[in-house]
Structure 1
Amino acid sequence: MAATARNIGVDIQDVSHHFDLSGSQLPVLDSIDLKVEPGEFVALLGPSGCGKSTLLRLIAGLEAPATGTILADGEAITRPDPSRILVFQDPTLFPWLTVWKNVASSLEARGVLQRQRHRVGQALSLVDLDAFADAYPHQLSGGMAQRASLARALVNDPALLLLDEPLGKLDSLTRLTLQDELVSLWQRTGFTALLVTHDVEEALLLASRIVVFSDRPARIKAEFTVDKSYPRHRDDSDLIHLRREILTALGLTIS
């Protein structure tokens, strides 16, 4: 598959958000200001339920922020767009469709499958699922199902990939493998990446910048630049030092 024609810079300006619950408002995000450069890989860390996934949904255009503005390449995000794809923790594949048809489904929904049919095979090749094009989701392992989900995102040639804990439910060995593959996909295709994760080591191995959020309503507490080449190694002394700083920022006491 050809490299992404462009990648997207994201500018989050004074964004706050809340949920309406039983006639009252539950604050989720509080005055978030964050700029993501085109082609950057940024990881978002913070307590469970603090609002990280909500922020991804706002960037995807699935919801509008209560206040503030989110810009993609200088234009306000007002709706979903195939250039901005959200990948969830669960693969959410259609069980009645083959892997090929699952990956093709977004192109079909957009009415471009006939002329972009070749992209399906290219996306499957990117995630090493060529041999499983005719398989059904129940015939896949958890890691293979998540690869299929990634292929369904990549077939759109996204300029921005929003990753909501996509490896969170995988076994440790599969997770390690897919961490390496995510970095490889990012390097080869050039998209901008925003990753929500609870795994500090995962953030350190994948991201070029790590943003730490407070408890709900989320505010940005700290940012860390990970200035290390790939592939990275868990026993790297610089990463170990950064890990301690990030855990401290998260409010965890390290012995």
Structure 2
Amino acid sequence: MVSAALAPAALPPGMALSVERVSHGFVLQDELLPVLQDIALDIEPGEFVALLGPSGCGKSTLLRLIAGLEPPRGGRILADGLPITGPDPSRVVVFQDPTLYPWRTVWDNVALGLEARGILKSQRHRVDQALELVGLARFASALPHQLSGGMAQRAALARALVNDPRLLILDEPLGKLDSLTRLTMQGELVSLWQRAGFTALMVTHDIEEALFLATRVIVFSDRPARIVEELRVDRPYPRHRDDPELVRLRQRILERLGLGGSW
């Protein structure tokens, strides 16, 4: 389970996010392929929002725009009321693949962000705190090949959390884990979010995962993605997968995705 949290005084509050009529696409063979169409979404500080939709509809593209990795072709995205114009340490992405450097220890992998910002010498304690937070303090000197899949993903989370992000952007972070490890990591991710207070935005293809983790679920159409449903998951934590309300919401999502008659 997750170890003791970082001291509350060291944690910034969650970030407010506004996606204002964003449209986006890519040029392929001299033609524009629309990917996102008129997306409008407001996320309150400290929310945990899950994005669901057909594979390839544009969910991960929206995450890239929010991370500041590229600008939208139309509309704008605001973080705490200010336009996003590029990447920032306050907005950190965790991908499906942990992408740990195999020649660096777990500690050194987690320290990468502070090292790149030139503040590692004075902030070394934050690496230790992040490893403690995700339960990897005893594996600080291990190399990535010595970790299980779940441990590697915890290391990736620690690498993100060491920057004290106000927005944690999760692009199917548990997608490659086996089912038992994935269930464990879902509970640990909720604990991290509750302890740290950041805003979380996650793409997942797992409806039950979205309902287990998120305070709100956004359902997208096929490409070009439009928002077709917003569902508030007003259930206490820890949640139980057989909760009748979660079962009802699951069926509602399946219907919106055109799969209601299959279950």
TM-score class, shorter: over 0.9
Give distance in 1, aligned partners of 2:7 and 2:166: 12
**Structure 2 partner of 1:123:** 130
Is contact 1:179–1:206 with CA below 8 Å preserved after alignment? yes
1:145 equivalent among 127, 140, 152: 152
Q: 1:229-248 alignment to 2 at 5 Å?
A: 229-248=236-255
- Determine which of 25, 37, 46 is the counterpart of 1:39: 46
The answer to whether structure 1 residue 185 and structure 2 residue 192 are counterparts is yes
The amino acid that maps onto 2:221 is: S
8 Å CA contact 2:19–2:40 kept in 1: the answer is yes
Q: Report deviation, 1:119.
A: 0.3
* Residue 253 of structure 1 pairs with residue 260 of structure 2: yes
Deviation of the 1:26 alpha carbon:
0.9
Q: Distance in 2 between matches of 1:138 and 1:66?
A: 41
Query: 3-state DSSP class of the match of 2:238?
Result: coil
1:93-112 alignment, distance < 5 Å: 93-112=100-119
Give the drift of 1:25: 1.0
Partner of 1:26: 33
RMSD: 0.7
The reply to whether residue 2 of structure 1 matches residue 14 of structure 2 is no
The amino acid of 1:184's aligned partner reads S
- Measure the CA separation in 2 of the matches of 1:58 and 1:2: 31
Which structure 2 residue ranges, 5 or more long, are not aligned?
Answer: 1-5
Question: 1:170 offset after TM fit, Å?
Answer: 0.2
Kindly indicate whether residue 168 of structure 2 is the aligned counterpart of residue 161 of structure 1.
yes
- Distance in 2 between residues matched to 1:2 and 1:152, nearest whole Å: 17
Cα distance in 1 between the residues matched to 2:226 and 2:245:
26
Distance 1:119 1:15 in 2: 36
Runs of 4+ in 1 over 3 A off after TM superposition: none
Q: Deviations over 1:141-179 (max 9, x none)?
A: 111100000000000000000000000010000000000
Contact 2:104/2:143, CA 8 A, preserved across alignment: yes
Contact residue 12 and residue 165 of structure 2 kept, 8 A: no
Instruction: State percent identity of aligned pairs.
Output: 70
Residue type of the alignment partner of 2:212: L
Do residues 225 (structure 1) and 232 (structure 2) align?
yes
TM-score by length of 1: 0.99
Tell me if the contact between 2:92 and 2:167 (Cα under 8 Å) persists in the aligned partners.
yes
**Partner of 1:153: helix, strand, or coil?**
helix
Letter in 1 for 2:45: P
**Deviation readout 1:78-124 (Å, 9 max, x if unpaired):** 01000000100000111110000000011000001011110000000
Q: For residue 64 of structure 1, what is the aligned residue in structure 2?
A: 71
Conserved? CA contact 1:126–1:151, under 8 Å: yes
Alignment match, 2:3: none
The answer to whether the Cα contact below 8 Å between 2:170 and 2:203 also exists between their aligned partners in 1 is: yes
How far has the Cα of 1:23 moved from its partner?
1.4
Q: How far off is 1:6 after superposition?
A: 2.1
Q: Shift of residue 7 of structure 1?
A: 1.4
8 Å CA contact 1:2, 1:189 repeated in 2: no
CA contact (8 A) 2:251 2:260 kept: no
- Alignment length (residue pairs): 255
TM-score, normalised to structure 2, is: 0.96
**CA distance in structure 1 between the aligned counterparts of 2:25 and 2:102, rounded to whole angstroms:** 34
Q: Contact 2:67–2:86 at 8 Å: present in 1 too?
A: yes
Structure 2 Cα separation of the partners of residues 136 and 117 of structure 1: 19
The equivalent position to 2:206 in structure 1, one of 199, 203, 207, is 199
